[in-house]
Each structure stands twice: as C-alpha cells, then as structure tokens.
Amino acid sequence: MDTPTPAAPAVNREHAPAEFGPVWRNGLVSFRLWAPDQATVILAIDGRESLPMAREAGGWFTAATAVPAGVRYRFLLPDGSAVPDPASRFQPEDVHGPSELVAPGAFRWTDAGWRGLPWHEAVIYELHIGTFTPEGTFAAAAARLPYLKSLGVTVIEVMPVGDFPGRWSWGYDGVLLFAPDSRYGRPDDLKAFVDRAHALGMAVLLDVVYNHFGPEGNYLPLLAPAHTDLHVTPWGDAVDYGRREATSMRDLVIANVRMWIGEFHLDGLRIDAAHEIRDREPDHILAAMAEAARGAGGSRKIHLVLESARLEAGRVSAAGGFDGQWNDDLHHALHAAITGEADKDYVDYAGRPDVLAQALAEGFRGGGDADRATVTLPPTAFVSFLQNHDQVGNRARGERIGMLATPAACRTAAAAYLLAPQIPMLFQGEEWAARSPFPFFSDLAPTFATAVRDGRIATFATDPDDLLDPFDPATFAAARLDWSEHRQSRHARMLDWYRAILRVRRREVAPLCAGIRTGGDWRVDDGVIRITWAGAKKDLMLTLNLSPRPAPLPAPLKGRAIWREGRIADGRCPPWFVAWSVRRRER
C-alpha cells in the first residue's frame, strides 16, 4: 500500500507565473530584473558595453543581447550601486560580486526513469555540505552516497545551500535563493549529486529559508518591497507575502520553488520556520508553494516538510499539501529522558514519561489546546529525530547526544524513534556516534559579527569563554565529520547497530506504516510506556523503559519480537529497555 500523496491545495491565481533571472530565447539572452523601486537600471556585462534596460509593466526592467554562458554581469542603479542578480544562478565571487550567466539546460541528466519514493518508506539523513566531508563540496558528498545507501537511508535532506556571505555558514543567512553557494561547487555539481542519488534509489530534499534573508548581502530592499514591518522574525526583517501586485515577493519565492524541483530535479523541500512565514490573505503563500512544487515535479513523487513552532495540522493533513512536520516534542522528551536535562527547552518534558508516550504515539504532546490534538493524523505526518542541526548546534558548545548520555541510553532512545511509524531522520554522523561537535558557525563581515556574538551570549546567558566563537575558523573546522572514526571499534559497533535496526525498519515497519492512519493507543505504568498502533492487517507494539532505573513489566510482551534492547528478568524491565513487536490483527 502506498502512502497517499497530499493534494496541492487550491490557490487563487491572479496572474501567470513570473520568470526571474536571464531567459534564453532565439539566440539571445533576455536579462530581467524586478526593481519597481528604481527609476532606471543599467545592465553591466564584464568586458562589454553597458546596456540601458527598458522599463516594463509590473516594475520589470529588461535587456536582450547575444552573450555566451559564463559571462559575468551586474545591475547598476542610479545611486552608483552595482548589485548582483537576485535570481542569479551562480556567484563565483560571493554575494557582493557579479553574477555568472548559467545555461540551465546544459547538464545531462540520467534519471529519466526516476519517479521518487513513497513517503512511508522515508528514512531521512540530514547533512550539511560544508562539514559532511573534509572537502566540503557537492562532488565530495556525492562520492559518499553509496555509504548512505548501505546504511539504509532513502532520503537525503541537505541543509540550505542558497548563496551566503563568507566562507562558511549553516545556510540560514543566505541572501541569493537561486544560486547554490560557490564554495560547495557549481550548479551542475549539485545536479550531479541529485542525479547520483537517484541512480542509487535515494531521494533528495533541500532545506529552504523563505521567512527572512541574512543580514549581509541582501540587495533586494534596494530594488523592491521585499520586507514588511507588520512583524519581525528572530533573525531579521520578515518577508512581505501580503502584497498582491502584478509581481511580488510571492512570485519570486514561487519561482525559486519551481527551480529547485524542476531544474534541479529535487524530490522536495523542507520549509524552515514556517510559523514565521505570514500571509494576510486566504490563499496563503505556503499553499502556493505546495502547488508550485507538485506542479514542477510532474509525475514524480514530491515530498514537502514543515518546520514550525506550532502544530500545522491543516497543512499536514491529506488536503493540506504537505507530507510532514518536524516533531520537536518527541526530540525534547527523548533528550530530557536520557540526559536528565530539565532547563530551558526541557522544562515541560523532564520526568514526564506521559509526554514522551504521547509524542511517540500521536506526534505532538497534548496540553489542553485542541489545535494540538494529533491523534487523528497518521504517524507519517511527523518527522522524528534524536538529533538535528538545531538541537545539536543551538547549544553553547554544539555537543552531540553521545557526549551527554550513555551509549545504552542513546541506543534505547534511537531504537524508540527509528522503529516508530513516524518518519525517522538521522543527523550526519549520528550513526557512528561521531565525536565532532556541530556548533553554530558563520563568516559574516565584522560589522554583523559583533551583533551575532552578543546575541548568542544573551541567549545562553553564559560567560563568553564558555561559548564557541561562531566566527573562529576552528569552530567550523571542528564541525567536520572525521571519516576515520567509523572504522574504530566503538564507532564501528554503533554503525553496525544502526545498519541492523534500519534493515529491520525496512523489512518490518515500513510496510506497516502506510496502513497506520491514526495515532497509537498509549499508557504509562510505573514509568513504563506501552503503545499499540493499529495497522490494516497487523499492529505495531512498543514497550519502553527509557530510564536508568528498573521498573515492573506492566503486562507480558505480546506479538512477534522484531527488536529488543535489554532482557526482562523476574518480571521487571531493566534500565534502558525497549521491545518492539508485530501482532497480526484479530478478525
């Protein structure tokens, strides 16, 4: 049984989609710039005479000329500013430099037969191109794809690659949405990464940031009404999606969505901080994104994931257009249980096996708010994890879970989320208990760096000496995975464990997931969690003692065992105990 693909929600179309960036037609290249806030614009092409651009309706400027791919160009404004193309496909000299003209159809794809993967088969692996390999490039990451295939990964989620200022970044301060960062390689290198993944039977999602732009190198406000003053995000001015002019920021972002799915053959997107993407109109920009992505994907299976601080039940339902949402509640409950941390994010989760049970069974924890009642959503509407870039990196020193909890505790927590019917997501290096931290790092210019440093000190309320400096090259270097580790005995054993449990998921759990259409029935007795998810023909059953203390076994284990951590003795669950089983439904 295949997981139903969410339908693209109905969107009110008031005008045809706008084309952003150079367009190749009849031997000429038409350079296009949306700049309604400018009176005149001049196209400056390196080594050629500058061309005045014609002003057209909707705030557009155009100029057509015969030039080859590879030339570099900028737009000159009346105040003397020279700005890159907001829809640049490549920035060889970073965000302040000229844009390079790229022929989008030059890459030779080999994935014509690729149709994507059913969502219930997803095992996601989140990676950061700059730190996943020593080289930090698309090409080097592509060379590691067979390793991910052998691990049991079916979907790769790449952290944002839109061009950002400086030499390194998480990617969330990007400013040129259409240009893969040049430090990672050329656009065709990213296409080759996707093409290779498809050849190996793996899908690729891209993390995209549509709620704000980074503080350095964002030239859009010089050209057009890009931001709104109706609200501010924690990271900067919010993008204005409320306008309904002939062309607007809605059109630019929708064009970007279409490019990633259509031109780069990506299999979907993860929308960063969707709660900060606000739209005053009924035809919400998120619905438009979903429609654009599925339209650009044609017959391929396209998967769309939200990160949001609130439950997006309407959007991850069958008619909402999105496949899933990150489940921070489950992460916080797992983390608090195995580390003992009880401050900040973990206050509401520490010592609460009931919260952990509900987050595992239903997706989000309850709390009296009807909007968070998730039992009617299928478990596959939630993406679960024990680590991710945020939960590791937004600590003062970027410690991974293996630095905070014992190996036994980590294995039990991992077994709980990896075999649950939610969609599991690993973070790079998790599978071998990598020792490299993943702290926040950035390379903004000094004028911006001071504000970022001060903000992080205030966030963590810590002595500056206890906080890794995001702008120190050593901080970025420390985050790179050490690929010699996974051959060392302790790490190799953990890697073998992950491979084994993912084989069990593929064989036993994934086939059940499409038939589990609602949350599970759960209860907690003396700290021991029991959950049953009802499938079409079989039930999936969990007994979990995620605690350093033994506890009475509430009832005999039932069904056919598919995974165990620890052994029952004298009717008691040992510390860090998990038992997964499958039981055929009674007629």
Annotated binding site: 270-275, 328-332, 389-394
Q: Could you give the C-alpha distances from 71 to 22, 31, 34, 100, in angstroms and in order?
A: 12, 12, 21, 6
Choosing from 195, 240, 272, 276, the catalytic residue is 272
- DSSP one-letter string for 160-174: P-EE-SSS-B-STT-
Contact status, residue 538 vs residue 512, Cβ threshold 8 Å = yes
- DSSP one-letter string for 406-461: -HHHHHHHHHHHHSSSSEEEEETTGGGT--------B---HHHHHHHHHHHHHHHT
Count the alpha carbons within 13 Å of 493 in the hemisphere toward its beta carbon: 5
Contact status, residue 41 vs residue 75, Cβ threshold 8 Å = yes
Q: Could you give the C-alpha distances from 456 to 211, 463, 477, in angstroms and in order?
A: 20, 11, 20
Nearest one of 315, 226, 319 to 274, comparing CA atoms: 315
Q: Tokens representing 372?
A: 């968070």
* Residue 348 among the catalytic residues: no
Q: Can you tell me which residue has the tokens 């059953």?
A: 541
User: Residue 72's Cα: distance from chain center in Å?
Assistant: 31
Q: Which residues pair with 3 in a beta bridge?
A: none
Give residues with Cβ within 8 angstroms of 26, minimum separation 6.
none
β-strand 72-76 against 155-158: which pairing, if any?
Answer: unpaired
Segment 94-99 long-range contacts (CB within 8 Å, at least 24 positions apart): 94/163, 94/165, 94/166, 94/182, 94/217, 95/163, 95/164, 95/165, 95/175, 95/176, 95/216, 95/217, 96/165, 96/217, 97/72, 98/46, 98/72, 98/73, 98/74, 99/72, 99/73, 99/74, 99/179
Count the alpha carbons within 13 Å of 415 in the hemisphere toward its beta carbon: 28
Indicate the annotated binding residues for substrate. 270-275, 328-332, 389-394
- Give the E-state strand segments of 457-575 in sequence order: 521-525, 528-534, 538-545, 551-552, 560-565, 572-573
Give residues with Cβ within 8 angstroms of 411, minimum separation 6.
494, 497, 565, 576
Q: Could you give the C-alpha distances from 324 to 2, 158, 310, 423, in angstroms and in order?
A: 16, 16, 13, 8
* Residue 207 among the catalytic residues: no
Choosing from 307, 323, 362, 431, the catalytic residue is 307
SS3 call for 549: coil
Count the alpha carbons within 13 Å of 550 in the hemisphere toward its beta carbon: 11
- Helices marked H in 18-144: 129-132, 138-143
Q: What are phi and psi of 241, to 5 degrees?
A: -105, 5
Could you list the active site residues?
272, 307
